[in-house]
């Protein structure tokens, strides 16, 4: 400042004017920066919990901790969990601070109403809806309602469609294998496209589920949107709106929206028209049995349009396909690493299907208890970093005296609970049949959570409580059927000298390594069942 003053002192009139303008701008700029930093900083004083992962004091320590969270989130959460055992702590990310809940708090908060502990508000903030264009149906529960009520009611009647589509998909997507030699296959692509085809069969029906453009959309949308989210999280918050505007962060959402509408509009229009005609003529409209129809029946009149309904269809792929594909890939990686589990699972499946005259139905799937146990164990060992992501809408005091202030983001550290000896015996061991054995012990007691789709504060892979994943029963049926197709026809293993690839981390988002190849070989002999 001193230098500036002296310079302006001896300047002529015009210059004088320029310099005072310059100094005024500088003062404003510094003031602005100071206020922004103060605001950023003050977020932390809203909760009194310690922040994990901070190594040096002050603002720079905070910024460093956020950068470390991108590459090292698991480690930060783990050390926080052990350091502050049984207590809350905070992790700080480029986006927000997250209060990490204790096991008892997850239990206590799991059934709080949405206006106190909100799932949707958390999703909107995490996905940066204002910049990414997500969140158009904020305030509605269309998707979870359609899944929770309609899809679950229909599960008994769609097994044939699932089986048929998986057969078709594997015939198309799985490279030809023989019984004579091992063939390396990048199995993720096969899994993802098979899951996308099968899910689309139930979500949008034939012929759309066989449309190549729709398959591309449903396998890429989630990934592309997450890339946008990850790109944005690295931009400091104060300049993020400007950045989002400059680089048009809504472009991914907008382009997928358009592509989805082009593909779906003819079907939606035809259905709306047929329904209108039937109503006019007093005839009964035979409704198709798929997600598109359930959503059409569920939405408010103003959302009964081609663009709303196709966007909802897009959101259905968003919540389902990547999650199911990654979970299945993880399970296959674990099975390849635990060959001792392959034959028992194969035999149990054969027995269950034979007992049902060679047909897969829901009762048959329920009898696949070793498979169920294996999926549950695989999920226990490879969970996401967080689930039970919520935002506190009204300050709330818990029974242990903890106060969670309005606006706080909260999460459950899934794998900390599922590998904590207080909650799981011998947690470090991968035991594919752990839950199967437990279910035998617990027969008639019905006290243990041994089923994969049963959630609890210890079993958080599908979340828990009011907003636990409503699609998990469907995902479980699809995954069991898909595994039956694979395991009843093929052997698979890692290439010589290789083993399970490490999980890839970007901030709080985890994924299995999808480029890893497995070796496949056809089992000798004729097809075991005619549905294969
Ligand atoms: C193995 C595959 C899947 C995994 C691991 C998974 C995981 C999850 C998780 C962790 C949540 C958050 C729950 C919470 O925080 O309490 C969730 C929510 C949700 N999932 Fe899934 N999911 C899977 C498959 C599916 C499928 C196939 C569908 C649709 C058919 C689906 C639909 C949903 C919906 C609609 C929600 C939001 C629920 C709400 O807001 O109340 N999911 N899922
Ligand atoms: C994923 O696995 C492939 C093949 O094993 C390997 O070459 C690649 O480095 C892995 N990717 C990452 C990001 O670790």
Same domain, 430 and 487: yes
Please name which ligand lies nearest the alpha carbon of 463.
1
DSSP state of 208: G
469 is in an annotated binding site: yes
- Domain assignment present for 29: no
Q: What is the pLDDT of residue 7?
A: 38
- Domain assignment present for 6: no
What is the maximum span of the chain, computed from C-alpha positions, in angstroms? Answer: 101
- Ligand 1 centroid from CA 382, angstroms: 16
515 CB near ligand 2 (under 6 Å)? yes
- Domain assignment present for 10: no
CATH number of the structural domain spanning residue 75: 3.30.43.20
239 CB near ligand 2 (under 6 Å)? no
269 CB near ligand 2 (under 6 Å)? no
- Domain assignment present for 66: yes
For 144, 225, 295, 470, 476, the CA distances from 141, given in Å and listed in that order, are 6, 21, 11, 12, 22
Q: What is the pLDDT of residue 48?
A: 82
Among 313, 323, 326, 385, name the best residue to mutate to test ligand 1's pocket (greatest count of ligand atoms within 8 A of Cβ): 323
Start-to-end CA distance of the chain, whole Å, equals 80
- Domain assignment present for 82: yes
For 38, 86, 91, 105, 405, the CA distances from 400, given in Å and listed in that order, are 31, 11, 21, 8, 15
Nearest to 56 by CA among 48, 64, 47, 66: 64
495 CB near ligand 2 (under 6 Å)? no
Same domain, 412 and 429: no
Closest atom of ligand 1 relative to the 316 alpha carbon: 29
pLDDT, tens digit, 9 for 90 and up, residues 234-289: 888 888 999 999 999 999 999 999 999 999 999 999 999 999 999 999 999 999 99
* Segments in the chain below pLDDT 50: 1-12
For 208, 227, 315, the CA distances from 217, given in Å and listed in that order, are 12, 15, 11
- Domain assignment present for 174: yes
Domain count, the chain: 2
- Domain that includes residue 336, residue range: 127-383+424-457+461-522
Same domain, 101 and 65: yes
Same domain, 373 and 473: yes
pLDDT, tens digit, 9 for 90 and up, residues 329-371: 999 999 999 999 999 999 999 999 999 999 999 999 999 999 9
Cβ pair 88, 100 in contact under 8 A: yes
- Domain assignment present for 18: no
Same domain, 294 and 375: yes
Same domain, 517 and 507: yes
Same domain, 254 and 403: no
- Domain assignment present for 343: yes
Same domain, 102 and 146: no
């Amino acid at each position: 400042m001193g230098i500036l003053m002296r310079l302006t002192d001896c300047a002529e009139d015009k210059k004088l004017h320029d310099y005072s303008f310059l100094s005024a701008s500088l003062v404003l700029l510094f003031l602005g920066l100071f206020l922004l930093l103060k605001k950023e900083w003050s977020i932390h004083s809203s909760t009194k919990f310690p922040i994990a992962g901070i190594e040096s004091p002050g603002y720079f320590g905070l910024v460093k901790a956020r950068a470390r969270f991108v590459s090292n989130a698991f480690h930060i959460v783990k050390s926080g969990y052990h350091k502050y055992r049984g207590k809350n702590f905070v992790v700080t990310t480029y986006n927000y601070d997250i209060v990490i809940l204790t096991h008892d708090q997850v239990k206590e908060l799991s059934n709080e109403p949405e206006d106190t502990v909100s799932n949707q508000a958390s999703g909107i903030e995490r996905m940066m809806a204002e910049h990414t264009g997500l969140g158009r149906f904020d305030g509605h529960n269309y998707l979870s309602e359609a899944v929770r009520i309609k899809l679950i009611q229909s599960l008994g009647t769609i097994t044939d469609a699932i089986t048929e589509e998986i057969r078709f998909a594997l015939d198309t997507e799985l490279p030809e294998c023989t019984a004579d030699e091992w063939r390396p296959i990048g199995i993720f692509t096969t899994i993802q496209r098979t899951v996308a085809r099968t899910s689309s069969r139930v979500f949008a029906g034939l012929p759309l589920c066989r449309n190549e453009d729709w398959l591309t959309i449903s396998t890429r949308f989630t990934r592309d949107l997450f890339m946008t989210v990850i790109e944005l999280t690295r931009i400091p918050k104060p300049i993020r709106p400007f950045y989002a505007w400059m680089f048009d962060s809504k472009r991914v959402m907008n382009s997928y929206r358009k592509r989805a509408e082009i593909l779906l509009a003819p079907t939606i229009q035809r259905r709306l028209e047929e329904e209108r005609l039937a109503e006019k003529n007093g005839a009964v409209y035979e409704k198709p049995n798929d997600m598109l129809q359930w959503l059409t029946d569920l939405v408010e009149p103003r959302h009964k349009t081609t663009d709303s309904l196709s966007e909802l269809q897009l959101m259905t792929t968003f919540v389902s396909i990547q999650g199911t594909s990654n979970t299945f890939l993880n399970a296959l990686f674990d099975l390849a690493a635990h060959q001792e589990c392959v034959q028992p699972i194969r035999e149990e499946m054969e027995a269950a299907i034979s007992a049902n005259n060679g047909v897969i139905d829901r009762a048959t799937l329920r009898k696949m208890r070793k498979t169920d146990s294996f999926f549950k164990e695989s999920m226990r060992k490879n969970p996401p970093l967080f689930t039970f992501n919520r935002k506190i809408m009204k300050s709330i005091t818990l029974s242990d005296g903890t106060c969670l202030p309005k606006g706080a983001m909260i999460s459950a550290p899934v794998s900390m609970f599922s590998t904590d000896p207080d909650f799981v015996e011998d947690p470090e061991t991968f035991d594919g049949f752990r839950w199967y054995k437990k279910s035998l012990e617990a027969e008639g007691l019905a006290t243990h959570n041994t089923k994969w789709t049963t959630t609890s504060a210890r079993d958080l892979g599908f979340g828990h409580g009011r907003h636990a994943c409503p699609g998990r029963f469907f995902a479980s049926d699809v995954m069991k059927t898909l595994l039956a197709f694979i395991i009843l026809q093929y052997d698979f293993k890692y290439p010589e000298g290789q083993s399970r690839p490490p999980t890839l981390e970007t901030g709080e988002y985890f994924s299995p390594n999808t480029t890893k190849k497995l070796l496949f070989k056809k089992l000798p002999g004729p097809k075991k069942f005619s549905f294969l």
